[in-house]
């Protein structure tokens, strides 16, 4: 357990001390959301009705952008090889990295989401459901992202391929995520979202570990 | 009494040698091709001339004879890929890699065909080319997965390493197959539920069922032929790449 938390701590320290990666992602999230009113026109009723979709797409894109730093720096400087020979099994290491990744990309987005809610004219109850749905859904996105990053880690120009691979897998998360905010059956959608996240977080580290160990030998 | 020291090889490990595999399966190609042509001639004759019009849809029902077999193949090819992925990960069978790589573009083509014929059929019967219905959406997702896998194959330089990584992703993507299968039961939106393979027997008259089954086998055998041929091509391509590498090494020293 100490090794597990040490890896989380290492990831957090690396990201927080090494420049403004986290802030850049938050900025990207806000700007993506804020650019939509320019494209569809500032009609408040329309914006409020499409706000759930916009926020989920902005969050999805921001999480895709952050993917490349999940394994690539470790692959390039050789840390990944050392981690593979560590006492802690590789799936556990990847689970720790997924948790750190979620803390670094998804949590700041959720904290910044009130700004988007104001810009997109969401009402208060919709805002709370949005925060809840982001909290429940983003772990699944982080876990799927780990699979995509692990599969493409050995490819030199893999940055563009991982989003293409993950996008089809993330479709259910987006469906239930926006469903939880807007539809009348928001409780069922929230439960589905929670189930997806639990399954993804439990199984994805094993798939990612298998991909990494077969890419490296 | 003599003791046999060399282990007796099963056919399974003997076809692991690419040369052996090609030599064994090459005689199959021509008979299978002829069978495909015969089945298509028979199936198209049934489908276009010797089957009744639907009492509601008229002649557009004939699109079904292309749509249903290609849609079935879009899932069957993925199953072939998933089984090959297992073979590649568990037994490290060299031909499983080749089978996986050869199946991906075929699967993408059949999925695209199924979506295309479906939208052609949807226009006169449902009044729309596209609807975000459960089965259409999940089939579109399947097409994206196929295209992603093809992109992944092209991105890797080392094909042997690529095979094992892509096998992992193929198995992850296989989650989508049951979703497609049961999408018509879970979200009863627009696409009709299963009407051929049902517990209480097919819900169609034999005059429509016969051409459907013939076309079904015709498309499946077509896939087998194309898959075998693509595997042979892939084996040759790898041989050429290995020879080129040897030549380059020889030139250097």
- pLDDT at residue A134 greater than cutoff 60: yes
Mean of the per-residue pLDDT values for chain A? Answer: 86
Dihedral angle of Cα A74, A158, A15, A134, to the nearest 10 degrees? -130
- pLDDT at residue A142 greater than cutoff 80: yes
User: Tokens 């991909």 correspond to what residue?
Assistant: A211
Lowest mean pLDDT among A157-161, A196-200, B209-213: A157-161
- pLDDT at residue A132 greater than cutoff 60: yes
- Looking at chain A, the whole-number percentage of residues with pLDDT higher than 90 is 24
Chosen from B148, B176, B187 to mutate, greatest number of chain A CBs within 10 A: B148
The total of structural domains in chain A comes to 1
pLDDT for A184 equals 66
Taking the CA of residue A151 and the nearest CA in chain B, the distance in Å comes to 6
* CA-based max dimension of chain A: 57
Per the model's pLDDT, the better-predicted residue between A93 and B196 turns out to be A93
Q: Across the 253 residues of chain B, what is the mean pLDDT of every consecutive 10-residue run?
A: 65 76 87 92 85 71 87 92 92 88 94 92 82 82 92 86 90 83 67 64 72 90 94 91 88 67
The H-or-E segment that residue A136 falls in is: helix A124-151
A66 to A101, A163, A205, B149: CA distances (angstroms)? 8, 11, 18, 22
Q: Which two tokens stand for residue A7?
A: 């890896």
DSSP A141-210: HHHHHHHHHHHTTT-TTTTTHHHHHHHHHHHHHHHHHHHHHHSS-HHHHHHHHHHHHHHHHHHHHHHHHH
Q: pLDDT band at residue A127, thresholds of 50, 70 and 90?
A: confident
Which chain A residue has its CA at the smallest distance from B172's CA?
A207
Q: Is A151 on the interface with B (CB under 8 A)?
A: yes
Q: Is B90 on the interface with A (CB under 8 A)?
A: no
Partner residue opposite A161 with nearest CB, options B152, B168, B176: B152
pLDDT for B51 equals 73
Q: Is A168 on the interface with B (CB under 8 A)?
A: yes
- pLDDT at residue A216 greater than cutoff 90: no
DSSP state of A114: H
Query: For residue B173, which residues of chain A lie inside 8 Å, CB to CB?
Result: 168-169
Domains of chain B by range and CATH?
25-247 (1.20.120)
Main-chain phi, psi angles of B195, to 5 degrees:
-130, 0
Residues 6+ apart with CB under 8 A from B198: none
Question: Domain range spanning residue A22?
Answer: 2-216
Query: For residue B175, which residues of chain A lie inside 8 Å, CB to CB?
Result: 169
pLDDT for B98 equals 92
Scanning B144-183 for CB atoms below 8 A from A yields 144-145, 147-148, 151-152, 155-156, 161, 164-169, 171-173, 175-176
Chain A and chain B share a number of CB contacts under 8 A equal to 60
Partner residue opposite A158 with nearest CB, options B147, B155, B166: B155
What pLDDT digit, counting tens, does each position of A67-85 carry? 888 888 888 888 888 888 8
pLDDT for B3 equals 67
Taking the CA of residue B9 and the nearest CA in chain A, the distance in Å comes to 27
* Side-chain-facing half-sphere of B216: CA atoms under 13 Å: 11
Per the model's pLDDT, the better-predicted residue between A202 and A3 turns out to be A202
Cα A39 to chain centroid distance, Å, stands at 25
ipTM value = 0.86
pLDDT for A214 equals 83
Q: pLDDT band at residue A215, thresholds of 50, 70 and 90?
A: confident
Q: pLDDT band at residue A156, thresholds of 50, 70 and 90?
A: confident
Say how far apart CA B236 and CA B240 lie, in whole Å. Answer: 6
pLDDT for B8 equals 65
pTM, entire model:
0.87
Contact indicator for A119, A33 with CB cutoff of 8 Å:
yes
Say how far apart CA B209 and CA B50 lie, in whole Å. Answer: 12
Asked if the Cβ–Cβ distance from B172 to A147 is below 8 Å, we say yes
């Amino acid at each position: 357990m100490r090794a597990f938390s040490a890896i989380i701590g290492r990831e957090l320290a690396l990201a927080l001390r090494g420049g403004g990666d986290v802030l850049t992602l938050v900025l990207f999230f806000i700007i993506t959301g804020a650019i939509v009113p320019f494209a569809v026109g500032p009609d408040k009723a329309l914006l409020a009705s499409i706000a759930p979709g916009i926020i989920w797409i902005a969050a999805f894109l921001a999480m895709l952008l952050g993917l490349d730093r999940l394994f690539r720096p470790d692959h390039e400087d050789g840390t990944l090889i050392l981690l593979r020979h560590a006492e802690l099994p590789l799936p556990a290491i990847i689970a720790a990295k997924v948790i750190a990744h979620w803390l670094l990309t998804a949590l700041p987005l959720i904290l910044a989401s009130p700004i988007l809610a104001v810009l997109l004219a969401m009402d208060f109850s919709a805002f709370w459901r949005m925060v809840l749905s982001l909290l429940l859904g983003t772990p699944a996105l982080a876990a799927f992202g780990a699979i995509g990053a692990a599969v493409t880690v050995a490819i030199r120009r893999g940055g563009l391929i991982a989003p293409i691979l993950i996008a089809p897998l993330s479709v259910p998360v987006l469906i239930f995520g926006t469903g939880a905010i807007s539809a009348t059956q928001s409780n069922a959608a929230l439960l589905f979202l929670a189930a997806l996240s639990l399954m993804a977080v439990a199984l994805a580290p094993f798939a990612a570990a298998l991909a990494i160990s077969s890419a490296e030998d | 009494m003599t003791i046999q020291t060399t282990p007796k090889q099963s056919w399974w490990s003997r076809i692991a040698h690419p040369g052996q595999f090609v030599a064994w399966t090459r005689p199959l190609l021509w008979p299978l091709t002829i069978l495909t042509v015969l089945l298509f001639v028979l199936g198209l004759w049934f489908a276009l001339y010797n089957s009744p019009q639907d009492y509601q849809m008229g002649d557009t029902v004939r699109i079904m004879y292309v749509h249903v077999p290609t849609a079935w193949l879009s899932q069957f090819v993925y199953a072939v890929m998933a089984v090959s992925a297992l073979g590649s990960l568990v037994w490290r069978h060299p031909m499983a890699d080749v089978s996986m790589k050869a199946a991906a573009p075929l699967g993408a083509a059949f999925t695209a065909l199924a979506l295309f014929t479906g939208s052609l059929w949807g226009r006169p019967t449902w009044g729309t080319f596209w609807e975000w219905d459960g089965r259409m959406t999940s089939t579109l997702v399947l097409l994206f997965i196929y295209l992603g896998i093809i992109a992944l194959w092209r991105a890797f330089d080392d094909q042997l390493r690529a095979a094992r990584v892509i096998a992992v992703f193929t198995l992850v993507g296989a989650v989508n197959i049951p979703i497609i299968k049961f999408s018509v039961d879970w979200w009863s939106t627009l696409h009709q539920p299963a009407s051929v393979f049902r517990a209480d027997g097919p819900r169609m008259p034999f005059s429509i069922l016969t051409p459907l089954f013939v076309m079904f086998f015709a498309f499946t055998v077509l896939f087998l032929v194309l898959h075998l041929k693509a595997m042979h091509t892939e084996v040759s391509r790898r041989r050429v790449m290995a020879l080129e590498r040897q030549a380059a090494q020889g030139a250097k020293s």
